[in-house]
Amino acid sequence: MMATLLEGTTQQKYIITKVTGDHALTTRLAELGLRVGKMVTVVNSANSGSGLVIYLTGQRLAISQSMAEKVTVTPLDKPQNIPTLPLTDMPIHSSCVVFQLIGDKAVRKRLMDMGLTRNTLIQIYHVAPLGDPIELQVRGYKLSIRKRDAANILVKELQL
């Protein structure tokens, strides 16, 4: 369920799925940190009377309603009817969000050390000809992981 940031509710976490507008606006929003894949929390909704305030990368940010209309988001906390599945079952060139890490403690720690934490956006770029390893885009960098490690990552698919 995608909506604009303007329609967001207080204390709800979202992931940014699209930023629209002219070049100057999208550049300005990117400078503020409002990029596809970033997690944002609405502190005060636009309906509260005090303006839209969001929490983004450790800081509070007030943005205008016209800017908020240009940012499309997907809620992260609301229970959705999107099934969780292992990362190995996701098709190439798809986007998903980490829901849970399973497996033994050492594997989970290694995956978290690589940046694969809950609500992190992942994009699957390539799969080797024999299916192992899998190349992902995580937090702005490319990461190749073994198929057996990817099976320990439960994700929910996103439509970007």
Mean pLDDT, residues 83-108: 88
The segment(s) of the chain belonging to CATH 2.30.30.90 are 3-75, 85-158
pLDDT tens column, 102-152: 989 999 999 899 889 888 889 898 888 887 889 998 888 899 999 999 999
Mean pLDDT of all residues in the chain? 85
Mean pLDDT, residues 14-36: 87
Backbone torsions φ then ψ of 86, nearest 5 degrees:
-65, 150
Domain topology for 85-158: SH3 type barrels. (2.30.30)
Q: Does the reported pTM lie above 0.75? A: no
Residue 81 pLDDT: 65
Q: Say which CATH class 3-75 falls into.
A: mainly beta
- In angstroms, the CA 149 to CA 6 distance is 38
Q: H-type helices in the chain, by residue range?
A: 23-32, 65-68, 105-113, 147-150
